[in-house]
A and B are shown apart, each in its own frame.
Chain A
């Protein structure tokens, strides 16, 4: 696995792995990004399922840049965390399960959002919500919302387990 060692030998990977604050800082940023993306998407899922129904579903498009910001924060911090411990992560089953969950969760959220937009396209246009702003989601949308919640939460569960499977983390007990 030559490319994994190469990845770990990059100066930035080395900084994350060996400096006093690199690793802890990346983990902290990763948690902050997680709070933004998963937090906002969970509220969207709950709303699609009928909770807080006074909020038009289309209003959530105003929050999408913040969910994306969380996603990119985690893509960057996650890539650096991976680069710093690549050779131990490629065989780490919770890590692989987490990646699978994130891909599936992302696809589900994309599908859900497309379903919402197709059902009520005028609500999602540039500036204003129409008088018939999307209040009740379709059964398909509701199914996707349940799936999205399950997949994002599973990603968190597997993410938490990564450290337990990595040898150094087992020694630390956390």
Chain B
């Protein structure tokens, strides 16, 4: 492991948050409960939006369905915050866990996909309030979004099973 990385992980480990969570295990338990509720909010919002883009409930204008986006964003932020807490609890353990490595890579790709959608399709679709049709590119992005986020859940759930394995890096 590179020294820079080691220093970064040590920094996360030594933060007040990491220290506090290691000494108060109920906080980790509470964090996991919130992480599961957050993933429901994220997936509920994404399912409604992505399935509509893929052609479900065609009578509803896309602009109306995009109003559900804040539900997904709240879920994502909740999971980002609780996720940072889990990471600071045991940075070295997570970093060398292959399931965690894959989960982070998938979140990165899902995030880039969401950014692409936001800056190209979202603006156009939100501007045409009566918009009912979506482009092929938007459909591909929506399908990728569902596949990626469900894969994030899969690999997130495998983290415990992979405890003690060696890192992919």
CB–CB B150/A35 < 8 A: yes
- Which residue in B25, B36, B56, B160 is a CB contact (below 8 Å) of A160? B36
Query: Could you say which of A66, A156, A160, A164 contacts B40, with CB atoms under 8 Å apart?
Result: A156
B157 on interface, CB distance cutoff 8 Å: yes
Q: How many residues of B are counted as interface, with CB atoms below 8 angstroms from the partner's CB atoms?
A: 36
Task: Check if A129 sits within 8 Å of B68, measured CB to CB.
Answer: no
Say what secondary structure dominates the interface of chain A. helix
How many angstroms between the C-alpha atoms of A59 and B59 in the bound complex? Answer: 8
Residues 27 to 45 of chain A near chain B (Cβ within 8 Å): 27-28, 31-32, 34-36, 38-43
**Chain B 16-50 interface mask (CB, 8 Å, partner A; 1/0):** 00000000010001001100110111111111100
CB atoms of B68 and A55 under 8 A apart: yes
Q: A31-B39, A52-B67, A62-B56 are in contact. Are A40 and B154 (CB under 8 A)?
A: no
Report the minimum CB–CB distance from A13 to chain B (whole Å): 18
Binding site for A on B (CB under 8 A): 25, 29, 32-33, 36-37, 39-48, 51, 56-57, 59-61, 63-65, 67-68, 71, 150, 153-154, 156-158, 160-161
**7 closest cross-chain pairs (CB), A and B:** A39-B44, A35-B43, A54-B64, A24-B161, A52-B67, A28-B157, A62-B57
